Amino acid sequence: MSRNTLTNETWSRLLPILKQLGIYRKKNLRKTVEGILFRLRTGCQWADIPSYFGKANSLY
């Protein structure tokens, strides 16, 4: 199973919306968003999110 939950097309449509909302463009923003989506999809605890997505406290 691929860890990416966002296709390139979806990400290219989502990024302008995030910028419009004032979300700044950090280099791993896509992984951060994917980590949040992973937690929402699985229902796991923040601390149990795989390290691939970044530190849990950064995602939270």
What DSSP state is assigned to residue 10? H
pLDDT of residue 23: 86
| Mean pLDDT in residue range 24-49 | 89
The pTM of the whole model exceeds 0.85: no
53: containing domain: 26-59
Contact criterion met (CB below 8 Å) for 39 and 58: no
- % the chain with pLDDT above 70: 93
Q: Is residue 45 part of a domain?
A: yes
Q: Is residue 17 part of a domain?
A: no
pLDDT of residue 4: 62
Q: Is residue 1 part of a domain?
A: no
Q: Is residue 20 part of a domain?
A: no
Q: Which residue in 20, 23, 50 sits closest to 36, CA to CA?
A: 50
How many independent structural domains does the chain possess? 1
Q: Is residue 11 part of a domain?
A: no
Residue with more model confidence, 31 or 3: 31
Contact criterion met (CB below 8 Å) for 28 and 54: yes
| Mean pLDDT in residue range 25-51 | 90
Phi, psi dihedrals of residue 32, rounded to the nearest 5°: -60, -45
pLDDT of residue 1: 42
Contact criterion met (CB below 8 Å) for 29 and 21: no
Q: Is residue 53 part of a domain?
A: yes
